[in-house]
Amino acid sequence: MPASIKQPTQGEKAKPTLETLPPEIKNEIFSHLLQGAKVKYSTDGSWPGYKYRFDATIMRTSKQMNEDASAYLHRHNEFALIHSKFFAFEIDKKRFLPTIATGKAAGTFAKPAIEATVTHLGTDKCSCCNPKKHQAKDRVTHALFLVADLEHFTRELRLTFHMWPSQPIYILSAPNVSPVQHIPVNVDTQVKIVWKVNPASRQDLNDVESRARHSRLLAPLDFPMGFGKKISILGFGTDEALKITDQIMPRILSVDAAGWDLYCLMKSQKAHLDNVLSQNPSSLSNLICSYMDLACLGHQLEIPGHWHYASVVRTVNNHGEIVSLCLMPFDELDDEEYESAIAGSWQVALLCLVLDSLFTVVRLAMEDVTFKHFPDCIQIITDMITHIFRGKSPFPKHYISLLGHYMVWLMLHQDLDRDPDTSTLGARGVALLANLRTCTPEEEETDVYRHLIEDQTFLSKVVLVSRFPISLWTTTAEQKHLAVLQPYA
pLDDT digits (tens, 9 = 90+) for 26-59: 889 988 998 888 888 877 766 677 788 888 888 8
Q: What is the pTM of this model?
A: 0.78
pLDDT value of residue 115: 95
Q: How many domains does the chain have?
A: 1
Instruction: Please report whether residue 156 resides in a domain.
Output: yes
Percentage of the chain beyond pLDDT 90 is: 15
pLDDT value of residue 485: 29
Instruction: Please report whether residue 177 resides in a domain.
Output: yes
Contacts of 396 by beta carbon, 8 Å cutoff, 6+ apart: 352
Tell me the C-alpha distance between 424 and 197, whole Å: 69
Instruction: Please report whether residue 194 resides in a domain.
Output: yes
**Kind of pairing between the strands at 169-174 and 315-318:** unpaired
Q: How many CA atoms lie within 13 A of 349 on its CB side?
A: 15
**Domain span at residue 213?**
78-250
Q: Which amino acid is at 386?
A: T
Whose CA is closest to 121, among 168, 166, 186?
166
Q: What SS3 state is found at 269?
A: helix
Contacts of 413 by beta carbon, 8 Å cutoff, 6+ apart: 371, 374, 462, 465, 466
Instruction: Please report whether residue 152 resides in a domain.
Output: yes
Instruction: Please report whether residue 179 resides in a domain.
Output: yes
pLDDT in tens, 403-449: 877 777 777 667 766 766 656 656 666 666 666 555 555 554 444 44
Instruction: Please report whether residue 137 resides in a domain.
Output: yes
pLDDT at 341 over 70: yes
pLDDT value of residue 145: 94
Specify whether the CB–CB gap between 45 and 281 falls below 8 A.
Answer: yes
Tell me the C-alpha distance between 35 and 379, whole Å: 49
pLDDT at 481 over 80: no
Whose CA is closest to 90, among 10, 153, 175, 44?
153
Tell me the C-alpha distance between 181 and 144, whole Å: 40
Instruction: Please report whether residue 183 resides in a domain.
Output: yes
Q: How far is CA 108 from CA 19, 60, 112, 115, 217, in A?
A: 27, 18, 10, 12, 21
Instruction: Please report whether residue 326 resides in a domain.
Output: no
pLDDT at 220 over 80: yes
